[in-house]
Protein backbone atom coordinates (compact mmCIF):
# COMPACT_ATOMS: atom_id res chain seq x y z
CA UNK A 1 0.00 0.00 0.00
CA UNK A 2 1.49 3.28 -1.00
CA UNK A 3 1.83 6.07 1.53
CA UNK A 4 0.21 8.69 -0.71
CA UNK A 5 -3.16 7.66 -2.14
CA UNK A 6 -6.61 9.07 -2.92
CA UNK A 7 -9.36 8.60 -0.37
CA UNK A 8 -12.80 10.18 -0.65
CA UNK A 9 -11.64 12.20 -3.62
CA UNK A 10 -8.55 13.73 -2.02
CA UNK A 11 -4.91 12.73 -1.90
CA UNK A 12 -3.87 11.63 1.57
CA UNK A 13 -0.55 11.09 3.29
CA UNK A 14 -1.34 7.84 5.12
CA UNK A 15 -4.51 8.78 7.05
CA UNK A 16 -4.13 12.55 6.79
CA UNK A 17 -5.85 14.56 4.08
CA UNK A 18 -3.49 16.88 2.23
CA UNK A 19 -6.36 19.37 1.88
CA UNK A 20 -6.59 19.52 5.65
CA UNK A 21 -2.81 19.83 6.03
CA UNK A 22 -2.70 22.68 3.52
CA UNK A 23 -5.47 24.46 5.47
CA UNK A 24 -3.71 24.01 8.79
CA UNK A 25 -0.06 24.53 7.88
CA UNK A 26 -0.23 26.39 4.58
CA UNK A 27 1.77 25.81 1.44
CA UNK A 28 4.40 25.11 0.24
CA UNK A 29 5.08 22.34 2.73
CA UNK A 30 7.07 19.12 2.72
CA UNK A 31 5.08 16.11 3.89
CA UNK A 32 6.79 12.84 4.83
CA UNK A 33 5.26 9.46 5.56
CA UNK A 34 6.61 7.60 8.58
CA UNK A 35 5.31 4.33 7.22
CA UNK A 36 7.14 4.79 3.94
CA UNK A 37 10.39 5.57 5.78
CA UNK A 38 10.06 2.53 8.01
CA UNK A 39 9.06 0.18 5.20
CA UNK A 40 11.91 1.30 2.99
CA UNK A 41 14.46 0.95 5.78
CA UNK A 42 13.25 -2.50 6.81
CA UNK A 43 13.25 -3.76 3.23
CA UNK A 44 16.76 -2.43 2.70
CA UNK A 45 18.16 -3.88 5.92
CA UNK A 46 16.46 -7.22 5.31
CA UNK A 47 18.09 -7.54 1.88
CA UNK A 48 21.46 -7.78 3.67
CA UNK A 49 20.33 -10.23 6.36
CA UNK A 50 22.99 -12.80 7.17
CA UNK A 51 25.86 -10.45 6.34
CA UNK A 52 27.66 -8.45 9.02
CA UNK A 53 26.15 -5.27 7.56
CA UNK A 54 25.65 -1.80 9.02
CA UNK A 55 23.21 0.53 7.26
CA UNK A 56 24.44 4.10 7.62
CA UNK A 57 21.67 6.39 6.39
CA UNK A 58 23.17 9.10 4.19
CA UNK A 59 22.03 12.14 6.11
CA UNK A 60 22.49 14.61 3.27
CA UNK A 61 19.47 13.19 1.42
CA UNK A 62 17.13 14.46 4.15
CA UNK A 63 18.66 15.68 7.37
CA UNK A 64 15.56 16.61 9.34
CA UNK A 65 16.17 15.40 12.91
CA UNK A 66 12.87 13.51 12.91
CA UNK A 67 13.86 11.60 9.78
CA UNK A 68 17.31 10.71 11.13
CA UNK A 69 15.77 9.74 14.47
CA UNK A 70 13.21 7.51 12.72
CA UNK A 71 16.06 5.52 11.17
CA UNK A 72 18.17 5.62 14.32
CA UNK A 73 15.31 3.98 16.27
CA UNK A 74 15.36 1.17 13.70
CA UNK A 75 19.08 0.60 14.29
CA UNK A 76 20.56 2.66 11.49
CA UNK A 77 23.87 4.44 11.65
CA UNK A 78 24.63 7.60 9.71
CA UNK A 79 26.84 8.64 6.82
CA UNK A 80 27.76 12.29 7.33
CA UNK A 81 29.71 14.67 5.08
CA UNK A 82 30.21 17.65 7.39
CA UNK A 83 30.53 18.60 11.03
CA UNK A 84 27.00 19.97 10.84
CA UNK A 85 25.67 16.59 9.76
CA UNK A 86 27.69 14.91 12.51
CA UNK A 87 26.04 17.29 14.99
CA UNK A 88 22.60 16.48 13.57
CA UNK A 89 23.18 12.74 13.63
CA UNK A 90 24.31 12.84 17.27
CA UNK A 91 21.39 15.11 18.19
CA UNK A 92 18.99 12.62 16.57
CA UNK A 93 20.40 9.81 18.69
CA UNK A 94 22.71 7.97 16.28
CA UNK A 95 25.46 6.28 18.33
CA UNK A 96 28.93 7.59 17.40
CA UNK A 97 30.18 4.09 16.71
CA UNK A 98 27.65 3.87 13.86
CA UNK A 99 28.74 7.06 12.13
CA UNK A 100 31.01 7.24 9.07
CA UNK A 101 32.40 10.60 7.99
CA UNK A 102 32.77 10.99 4.21
CA UNK A 103 33.58 13.96 1.95
CA UNK A 104 36.61 15.27 0.03
CA UNK A 105 37.27 18.37 2.09
CA UNK A 106 37.21 17.62 5.80
CA UNK A 107 38.77 20.46 7.76
CA UNK A 108 40.93 20.11 10.85
CA UNK A 109 38.00 21.20 13.02
CA UNK A 110 35.79 18.52 11.44
CA UNK A 111 38.42 15.85 12.05
CA UNK A 112 38.71 16.90 15.67
CA UNK A 113 34.94 16.75 16.12
CA UNK A 114 34.81 13.25 14.64
CA UNK A 115 37.73 12.01 16.72
CA UNK A 116 36.34 13.46 19.94
CA UNK A 117 32.97 11.87 19.26
CA UNK A 118 34.79 8.55 18.55
CA UNK A 119 33.01 7.83 15.28
CA UNK A 120 33.30 4.49 13.51
CA UNK A 121 35.32 5.62 10.52
CA UNK A 122 36.71 8.47 8.44
CA UNK A 123 36.50 7.88 4.71
CA UNK A 124 39.71 9.48 3.50
CA UNK A 125 39.94 10.72 -0.07
CA UNK A 126 43.52 11.99 -0.56
CA UNK A 127 47.11 11.80 0.69
CA UNK A 128 46.98 15.29 2.15
CA UNK A 129 43.81 14.46 4.04
CA UNK A 130 45.43 11.28 5.39
CA UNK A 131 48.47 13.22 6.61
CA UNK A 132 46.38 15.94 8.26
CA UNK A 133 44.13 13.39 9.94
CA UNK A 134 47.22 11.57 11.25
CA UNK A 135 48.51 14.81 12.76
CA UNK A 136 45.18 15.83 14.30
CA UNK A 137 44.70 12.34 15.78
CA UNK A 138 48.24 12.27 17.20
CA UNK A 139 47.70 15.66 18.85
CA UNK A 140 44.58 14.24 20.50
CA UNK A 141 46.51 11.05 21.38
CA UNK A 142 44.10 9.02 19.27
CA UNK A 143 44.32 6.72 16.30
CA UNK A 144 41.85 7.66 13.58
CA UNK A 145 39.87 4.70 12.20
CA UNK A 146 40.23 5.09 8.43
CA UNK A 147 38.76 3.67 5.25
CA UNK A 148 40.32 4.79 1.99
CA UNK A 149 37.69 5.92 -0.47
CA UNK A 150 38.57 4.35 -3.78
CA UNK A 151 37.80 5.87 -7.15
CA UNK A 152 37.25 2.70 -9.16
CA UNK A 153 36.98 4.54 -12.49
CA UNK A 154 33.54 3.11 -13.21
CA UNK A 155 30.90 4.97 -15.20
CA UNK A 156 27.76 5.07 -13.06
CA UNK A 157 25.67 6.01 -16.12
CA UNK A 158 23.74 8.62 -14.19
CA UNK A 159 23.42 12.42 -14.51
CA UNK A 160 26.89 14.02 -14.89
CA UNK A 161 26.33 16.20 -11.82
CA UNK A 162 25.79 13.17 -9.57
CA UNK A 163 28.41 10.81 -11.01
CA UNK A 164 31.37 10.39 -8.64
CA UNK A 165 33.30 7.26 -9.57
CA UNK A 166 35.13 8.22 -12.77
CA UNK A 167 38.80 9.16 -12.68
CA UNK A 168 37.96 12.71 -13.78
CA UNK A 169 35.68 13.21 -10.74
CA UNK A 170 37.09 14.85 -7.62
CA UNK A 171 36.14 11.92 -5.40
CA UNK A 172 38.22 9.05 -4.09
CA UNK A 173 41.70 7.67 -4.60
CA UNK A 174 42.70 5.81 -7.74
CA UNK A 175 43.65 2.21 -7.14
CA UNK A 176 47.42 2.43 -7.82
CA UNK A 177 47.62 5.44 -5.47
CA UNK A 178 45.59 3.57 -2.87
CA UNK A 179 48.26 0.86 -2.73
CA UNK A 180 50.90 3.51 -2.01
CA UNK A 181 48.71 5.26 0.55
CA UNK A 182 48.09 1.98 2.38
CA UNK A 183 51.85 1.66 2.82
CA UNK A 184 52.04 5.28 3.96
CA UNK A 185 49.15 4.78 6.38
CA UNK A 186 51.04 1.93 8.05
CA UNK A 187 53.83 4.37 8.95
CA UNK A 188 51.53 7.01 10.47
CA UNK A 189 50.96 6.45 14.21
CA UNK A 190 47.71 8.48 14.17
CA UNK A 191 46.12 6.26 11.51
CA UNK A 192 44.45 2.86 11.84
CA UNK A 193 43.63 1.73 8.31
CA UNK A 194 40.58 -0.50 8.75
CA UNK A 195 38.74 -0.46 5.48
CA UNK A 196 38.00 0.64 1.96
CA UNK A 197 35.06 2.72 0.79
CA UNK A 198 33.43 3.46 -2.53
CA UNK A 199 30.53 5.58 -3.77
CA UNK A 200 30.24 5.94 -7.53
CA UNK A 201 27.23 8.21 -7.81
CA UNK A 202 23.57 8.72 -7.13
CA UNK A 203 20.33 7.63 -8.80
CA UNK A 204 21.98 4.60 -10.47
CA UNK A 205 19.48 2.68 -12.54
CA UNK A 206 21.50 -0.38 -13.47
CA UNK A 207 23.33 -2.91 -11.36
CA UNK A 208 26.41 -3.37 -13.57
CA UNK A 209 28.33 -0.28 -12.42
CA UNK A 210 27.74 -1.28 -8.79
CA UNK A 211 28.94 -4.81 -9.49
CA UNK A 212 32.04 -3.55 -11.30
CA UNK A 213 32.92 -1.11 -8.50
CA UNK A 214 32.30 -3.66 -5.73
CA UNK A 215 34.43 -6.25 -7.54
CA UNK A 216 37.36 -3.83 -7.80
CA UNK A 217 37.01 -2.95 -4.13
CA UNK A 218 36.94 -6.57 -3.02
CA UNK A 219 39.93 -7.40 -5.19
CA UNK A 220 41.93 -4.55 -3.68
CA UNK A 221 40.82 -5.58 -0.18
CA UNK A 222 42.08 -9.12 -0.77
CA UNK A 223 45.37 -7.78 -2.05
CA UNK A 224 45.86 -5.43 0.90
CA UNK A 225 44.91 -8.10 3.42
CA UNK A 226 47.47 -10.43 1.82
CA UNK A 227 50.05 -7.65 2.17
CA UNK A 228 49.37 -7.51 5.90
CA UNK A 229 47.02 -4.53 6.17
CA UNK A 230 44.22 -4.80 8.72
CA UNK A 231 41.33 -4.30 6.29
CA UNK A 232 38.17 -5.44 8.06
CA UNK A 233 35.41 -3.27 6.65
CA UNK A 234 34.11 -2.48 3.17
CA UNK A 235 31.89 0.55 2.78
CA UNK A 236 29.86 0.12 -0.41
CA UNK A 237 28.40 3.65 -0.43
CA UNK A 238 24.90 4.56 -1.60
CA UNK A 239 23.45 5.47 -4.95
CA UNK A 240 20.62 2.99 -5.54
CA UNK A 241 18.14 4.72 -7.82
CA UNK A 242 14.37 5.05 -7.51
CA UNK A 243 11.49 5.52 -9.94
CA UNK A 244 10.61 9.16 -10.56
CA UNK A 245 9.27 8.63 -14.06
CA UNK A 246 9.97 5.52 -16.12
CA UNK A 247 13.37 4.51 -14.76
CA UNK A 248 13.96 0.83 -14.13
CA UNK A 249 16.42 0.74 -11.21
CA UNK A 250 17.72 -2.61 -9.99
CA UNK A 251 15.55 -4.22 -7.34
CA UNK A 252 16.94 -4.59 -3.84
CA UNK A 253 17.64 -8.27 -4.27
CA UNK A 254 19.91 -7.79 -7.28
CA UNK A 255 21.66 -4.85 -5.64
CA UNK A 256 22.25 -6.91 -2.51
CA UNK A 257 23.43 -9.83 -4.64
CA UNK A 258 26.07 -7.60 -6.22
CA UNK A 259 27.37 -6.85 -2.71
CA UNK A 260 27.22 -10.48 -1.60
CA UNK A 261 28.95 -11.75 -4.73
CA UNK A 262 31.79 -9.27 -4.33
CA UNK A 263 32.51 -9.96 -0.66
CA UNK A 264 31.96 -13.71 -0.78
CA UNK A 265 34.51 -15.35 1.52
CA UNK A 266 35.95 -12.11 2.89
CA UNK A 267 35.82 -11.96 6.71
CA UNK A 268 34.70 -8.33 6.88
CA UNK A 269 31.95 -5.98 7.97
CA UNK A 270 29.91 -4.27 5.26
CA UNK A 271 28.74 -0.66 5.50
CA UNK A 272 25.96 0.61 3.22
CA UNK A 273 25.11 4.29 2.79
CA UNK A 274 21.66 4.56 1.20
CA UNK A 275 20.15 8.01 1.04
CA UNK A 276 17.70 8.64 -1.78
CA UNK A 277 16.41 5.04 -1.77
CA UNK A 278 15.19 5.37 1.83
CA UNK A 279 13.56 8.78 1.66
CA UNK A 280 12.76 10.00 -1.87
CA UNK A 281 9.38 8.35 -2.28
CA UNK A 282 8.45 8.97 1.35
CA UNK A 283 8.03 12.69 0.72
CA UNK A 284 5.94 15.10 -1.32
CA UNK A 285 6.07 18.84 -1.64
CA UNK A 286 2.55 20.20 -1.20
CA UNK A 287 1.90 23.33 -3.22
CA UNK A 288 -0.97 25.52 -4.33
CA UNK A 289 -1.60 27.02 -7.76
CA UNK A 290 -1.40 30.80 -7.42
CA UNK A 291 -2.44 31.58 -10.98
CA UNK A 292 -3.04 29.77 -14.21
CA UNK A 293 -1.58 31.82 -17.03
CA UNK A 294 -2.29 31.39 -20.73
CA UNK A 295 0.56 32.47 -22.98
CA UNK A 296 0.44 32.39 -26.76
CA UNK A 297 2.90 29.53 -26.90
CA UNK A 298 2.34 27.89 -23.55
CA UNK A 299 0.08 27.45 -20.58
CA UNK A 300 1.67 27.95 -17.15
CA UNK A 301 0.63 26.83 -13.71
CA UNK A 302 2.35 29.29 -11.39
CA UNK A 303 2.54 27.50 -8.05
CA UNK A 304 3.75 28.62 -4.63
CA UNK A 305 6.64 26.11 -4.49
CA UNK A 306 9.74 27.24 -6.33
CA UNK A 307 13.33 26.38 -7.14
CA UNK A 308 14.38 27.66 -3.73
CA UNK A 309 12.19 24.96 -2.17
CA UNK A 310 13.04 22.17 -4.62
CA UNK A 311 16.02 22.73 -6.89
CA UNK A 312 16.31 19.29 -8.49
CA UNK A 313 14.46 20.13 -11.72
CA UNK A 314 16.56 23.29 -12.25
CA UNK A 315 19.86 21.72 -11.18
CA UNK A 316 19.63 18.19 -12.58
CA UNK A 317 16.82 18.46 -15.13
CA UNK A 318 15.10 16.09 -12.74
CA UNK A 319 11.61 14.75 -13.36
CA UNK A 320 9.29 15.07 -10.36
CA UNK A 321 5.85 13.51 -10.66
CA UNK A 322 2.91 15.90 -10.16
CA UNK A 323 -0.36 14.75 -8.65
CA UNK A 324 -3.45 16.94 -8.32
CA UNK A 325 -4.64 16.72 -4.71
CA UNK A 326 -8.30 16.63 -5.79
CA UNK A 327 -8.77 13.30 -7.53
CA UNK A 328 -9.24 14.02 -11.24
CA UNK A 329 -12.58 13.03 -12.70
CA UNK A 330 -12.28 9.76 -14.62
CA UNK A 331 -11.68 10.58 -18.28
CA UNK A 332 -10.67 14.19 -17.54
CA UNK A 333 -8.88 15.71 -20.53
CA UNK A 334 -5.17 16.20 -20.03
CA UNK A 335 -3.55 19.46 -21.10
CA UNK A 336 0.13 20.31 -21.30
CA UNK A 337 1.31 22.88 -18.77
CA UNK A 338 4.62 24.19 -17.48
CA UNK A 339 4.48 24.00 -13.71
CA UNK A 340 6.66 26.88 -12.55
CA UNK A 341 7.47 28.75 -9.35
CA UNK A 342 7.22 32.48 -8.65
CA UNK A 343 11.00 33.04 -8.32
CA UNK A 344 12.49 35.60 -10.70
CA UNK A 345 14.50 33.13 -12.76
CA UNK A 346 13.56 31.56 -16.06
CA UNK A 347 15.06 28.36 -14.66
CA UNK A 348 12.47 28.26 -11.88
CA UNK A 349 10.61 25.36 -13.38
CA UNK A 350 9.23 22.42 -11.39
CA UNK A 351 7.78 20.40 -14.27
CA UNK A 352 8.08 21.58 -17.88
CA UNK A 353 5.56 20.40 -20.46
CA UNK A 354 3.57 18.13 -18.22
CA UNK A 355 0.25 16.59 -19.25
CA UNK A 356 -2.09 17.25 -16.33
CA UNK A 357 -5.82 17.29 -15.68
CA UNK A 358 -7.35 20.79 -15.64
CA UNK A 359 -5.99 23.01 -12.87
CA UNK A 360 -7.43 26.25 -11.51
CA UNK A 361 -6.22 29.06 -9.32
CA UNK A 362 -6.18 27.80 -5.73
CA UNK A 363 -5.92 24.09 -6.58
CA UNK A 364 -3.47 21.96 -4.63
CA UNK A 365 -0.82 19.74 -6.17
CA UNK A 366 1.61 17.24 -4.67
CA UNK A 367 5.09 17.15 -6.15
CA UNK A 368 6.23 13.55 -5.74
CA UNK A 369 9.63 12.03 -5.04
CA UNK A 370 10.47 15.05 -2.91
CA UNK A 371 11.69 13.27 0.23
CA UNK A 372 15.32 13.21 -0.96
CA UNK A 373 17.43 16.21 -1.93
CA UNK A 374 14.40 18.45 -1.45
CA UNK A 375 14.21 20.41 1.81
CA UNK A 376 17.93 19.86 2.42
CA UNK A 377 18.85 21.76 -0.74
CA UNK A 378 16.41 24.57 -0.20
CA UNK A 379 17.43 28.20 0.21
CA UNK A 380 15.77 31.50 1.00
CA UNK A 381 16.46 32.98 -2.45
CA UNK A 382 14.03 35.85 -3.22
CA UNK A 383 13.70 36.08 0.58
CA UNK A 384 11.26 33.21 0.62
CA UNK A 385 11.00 31.49 4.00
CA UNK A 386 12.12 27.85 4.26
CA UNK A 387 9.08 25.60 3.83
CA UNK A 388 7.85 23.63 6.83
CA UNK A 389 8.35 19.88 7.10
CA UNK A 390 5.57 17.63 8.38
CA UNK A 391 5.87 14.00 9.42
CA UNK A 392 2.70 11.95 9.16
CA UNK A 393 2.15 8.72 11.06
CA UNK A 394 -1.20 7.05 10.43
CA UNK A 395 -3.91 9.55 11.37
CA UNK A 396 -1.56 11.87 13.27
CA UNK A 397 1.05 14.34 12.12
CA UNK A 398 3.77 16.51 13.59
CA UNK A 399 5.35 19.68 12.27
CA UNK A 400 8.99 18.62 12.43
CA UNK A 401 10.21 21.99 11.16
CA UNK A 402 7.88 24.98 11.33
CA UNK A 403 7.77 27.47 8.50
CA UNK A 404 10.46 30.08 8.89
CA UNK A 405 9.01 33.50 9.79
CA UNK A 406 10.21 36.77 8.31
CA UNK A 407 11.83 38.05 11.50
CA UNK A 408 13.87 34.84 11.70
CA UNK A 409 14.62 35.01 7.99
CA UNK A 410 16.22 38.46 8.12
CA UNK A 411 17.19 38.26 11.78
CA UNK A 412 20.78 37.20 11.24
CA UNK A 413 21.58 40.18 8.98
CA UNK A 414 23.30 43.12 10.67
CA UNK A 415 23.65 46.71 9.53
CA UNK A 416 27.28 47.80 9.31
CA UNK A 417 27.98 50.46 11.97
CA UNK A 418 28.20 53.20 9.30
CA UNK A 419 24.71 52.34 8.06
CA UNK A 420 23.02 52.93 11.40
CA UNK A 421 20.68 55.95 11.67
CA UNK A 422 22.62 59.22 11.02
CA UNK A 423 21.05 60.86 14.09
CA UNK A 424 22.45 58.12 16.33
CA UNK A 425 25.89 58.47 14.76
CA UNK A 426 25.89 62.24 15.40
CA UNK A 427 24.92 61.82 19.03
CA UNK A 428 27.87 59.47 19.55
CA UNK A 429 30.34 61.94 17.98
CA UNK A 430 29.03 64.69 20.28
CA UNK A 431 29.40 62.55 23.39
CA UNK A 432 33.06 61.95 22.63
CA UNK A 433 33.90 65.64 22.89
C1 LIG B 1 25.43 11.25 -1.31
C2 LIG B 1 26.18 10.09 -0.77
C3 LIG B 1 25.52 8.90 -0.47
C4 LIG B 1 24.04 8.68 -0.70
O5 LIG B 1 23.71 8.67 -2.04
P6 LIG B 1 22.21 8.28 -2.50
O7 LIG B 1 22.27 8.34 -3.96
O8 LIG B 1 21.32 9.28 -1.91
O9 LIG B 1 21.95 6.92 -1.98
C10 LIG B 1 26.25 7.88 0.08
N11 LIG B 1 27.58 8.00 0.30
C12 LIG B 1 28.25 9.13 0.01
C13 LIG B 1 29.70 9.21 0.28
C14 LIG B 1 27.59 10.21 -0.54
O15 LIG B 1 28.25 11.32 -0.84
The boundaries of the domain holding residue 209 are: 34-279
* Predicted pLDDT at 425: 52
Contacts of 135 (CB under 8 A, 6+ apart): 190
Q: Are residues 170 and 211 in the same domain?
A: yes
**What is the Å distance from ligand 1's center to 168 Cα?**
18
Mean pLDDT computed over 118-136:
98
Average pLDDT of the chain, as a whole number: 95
Q: Are residues 204 and 66 in the same domain?
A: yes
Mean pLDDT computed over 356-373:
97
- The beta-strand segments (E) located in 334-402 are 335-340, 349-356, 364-367, 389-393, 396-401
Determine which of 165-169, 300-304, 340-344 has the lowest per-residue pLDDT on average. 165-169
* Predicted pLDDT at 169: 85
The CATH number assigned to the domain holding 340 equals 2.40.37.10
**What is the Å distance from ligand 1's center to 161 Cα?**
13
Distance CA 37, CA 274 (A): 12
165 touches ligand 1 (CB under 6 Å)? no
**What is the Å distance from ligand 1's center to 121 Cα?**
16
The CATH number assigned to the domain holding 88 equals 3.20.20.10
Q: Are residues 195 and 61 in the same domain?
A: yes
* Predicted pLDDT at 72: 98
Parallel, antiparallel or unpaired: strands 322-324 and 233-235 = unpaired
Mean pLDDT computed over 167-183:
92
In the predicted model, is pLDDT for residue 160 greater than 90?
no
Pocket mutation for ligand 1, best pick of 56, 60, 171, 372 (most atoms within 8 Å of C-beta): 60
* Predicted pLDDT at 429: 52
Q: Are residues 251 and 387 in the same domain?
A: no
43-81 pLDDT, tens digit per residue, is 999 999 999 999 999 999 999 999 999 999 999 999 999
- If one counts every other C-beta atom within 10 angstroms of the C-beta of residue 73, the result is 12
Give the end of a domain, one of 246, 279, 312: 279
Q: Are residues 219 and 174 in the same domain?
A: yes
* Predicted pLDDT at 161: 82
Q: How many domains does the chain have?
A: 2
Distance CA 80, CA 99 (A): 7
238 touches ligand 1 (CB under 6 Å)? yes
56 touches ligand 1 (CB under 6 Å)? no
* Predicted pLDDT at 164: 83
276 touches ligand 1 (CB under 6 Å)? yes
Give the end of a domain, one of 250, 279, 308: 279
221-257 pLDDT, tens digit per residue, is 999 999 999 999 999 999 999 999 999 999 999 999 9
CA dihedral for 101, 104, 107, 111, sign (positive or negative): positive
Q: Are residues 125 and 56 in the same domain?
A: yes
* Predicted pLDDT at 427: 55
Q: Which of 49, 297, 344, 423 is catalytic?
A: 344
- Catalytic (active site) residue 56: no
Amino acid sequence: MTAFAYRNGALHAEGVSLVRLADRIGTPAYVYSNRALVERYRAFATAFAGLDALVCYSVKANSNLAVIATFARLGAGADVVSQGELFRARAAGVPANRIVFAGVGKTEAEMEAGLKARILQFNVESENELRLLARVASQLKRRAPVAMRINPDVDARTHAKISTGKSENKFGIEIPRARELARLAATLPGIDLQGLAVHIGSQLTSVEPFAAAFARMAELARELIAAGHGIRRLDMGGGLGIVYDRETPPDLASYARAVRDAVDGLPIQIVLEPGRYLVAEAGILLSRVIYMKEGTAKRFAIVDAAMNDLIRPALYDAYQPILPVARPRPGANLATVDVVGPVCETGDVIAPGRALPPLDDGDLIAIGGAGAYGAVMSSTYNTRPLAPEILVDGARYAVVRPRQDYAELIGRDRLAPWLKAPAAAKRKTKKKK
